[in-house]
Amino acid sequence: MIGLDTNVLVRYLVEDDAEQAARAADLIDETLATGERLFLTEVVVCEVVWVLESVYRFPRGYITAVLGDLLRARQLVVEHPEAARQALDRYAHGTADFADYLILQRCDAKGCERVASFDKALHSEPSVFSP
C-alpha cells in the first residue's frame, strides 16, 4: 500500500500543474493497475477538501461529489472511512467545514457527550456548545 500526500492527490484531481499532474497520474494509475491500494489519512482528506474549497473555489456540491467518489473507490483505503462518510453527509447539508464535521464524528466515536467550539457554523449541532 502507498500513502498519498495531499499535494499528489490535488495535482491528480485538478491537473493545475501539467508536469506534476502527469507524475501523480502515472503513480496512481500504475499502482492501481498492479492491484496495490492507496491510503489516505484523515488529514489528507481534510486538506483536499480545504484546498478544493479555499484555493480553487469549487462549490460544495462538486467537492461533495469528488470526495464521495474517493470514499467509494475500492482501491483507496481511507482512515476511519465511516466517520469520513458521516462527516461528508453533514458537510453536504450543513454550513460548517468538512474538518469540523469530521471532528464531531471522531469525538462522538470516542464517547464525547458534547464538543466545545467557538465555530458558530457548528452551533446548530445538538452536541456542540460555546464555552
pLDDT tens-digit map of 95-116: 999 999 999 999 999 999 999 9
High-pLDDT (> 90) share of the chain, %: 89
Q: What is the model's pTM?
A: 0.87
What are the residue ranges of helices labelled H in the chain? Answer: 6-14, 18-33, 42-50, 60-72, 81-93, 98-109
pLDDT (tens digit, 9 = 90+) per residue, 76-92?
Answer: 999 999 999 999 999 99
